[in-house]
Amino acid sequence: MLKKVLRYLVLGLGMYALIASLVITFYKDDPQAMIWQDREAFNKRYIEKISLEQTTTVNTVLDYLGSPDLTYAKRQGELVWQVIFYRTQHVNSDGITTMDECTGLLFKSGELIYWGPDAYKKYLEYTA
């Protein structure tokens, strides 16, 4: 009797571990369904991983992070400049997301060229 209970216990724990690892491996986080604190941390972790060695496009960022909190775009001939902002740090509990609570990502014709607190200043410089 004890062997049977022990066998079911081990089998149950094994199934739990298998299902948990499958969910962790294959389930994609949905930023739109997160509470604001989790989404903020999710955005920050993703932006911190960006490097210049890899090509990052606006579509890649939008697919992963979802809709930006703020966005500005401007066309200059064939060039399209776009700066998008994702909230990465809480400042005021006023229900409004402002630029000082966000990290900007600057794209030139769909390719990421600059990110960080000065992204909007660079956007204004390039589009002036």
pTM: 0.74
Please report the beta strands in 2-125, taking only residues with DSSP state E, as ranges in sequence order. 70-76, 79-87, 102-108, 111-116
Q: Which of 123, 125, 124, 79 is nearest to 105 (CA)?
A: 123
Domains of the chain: 31-127 (3.30.1450.10)
Q: In what order do the strands lie in the sheet with 70-76?
A: 70-76, 79-87, 102-108, 111-116
CA–CA separation, 54 vs 51, rounded Å?
A: 6
Q: What is the pLDDT of residues 3-41, one digit of tens each?
A: 888 898 999 999 999 888 887 777 666 666 678 888 899
Q: What is the pLDDT of residues 75-122, one digit of tens each?
A: 999 999 999 999 999 888 888 888 999 999 999 999 999 999 899 999
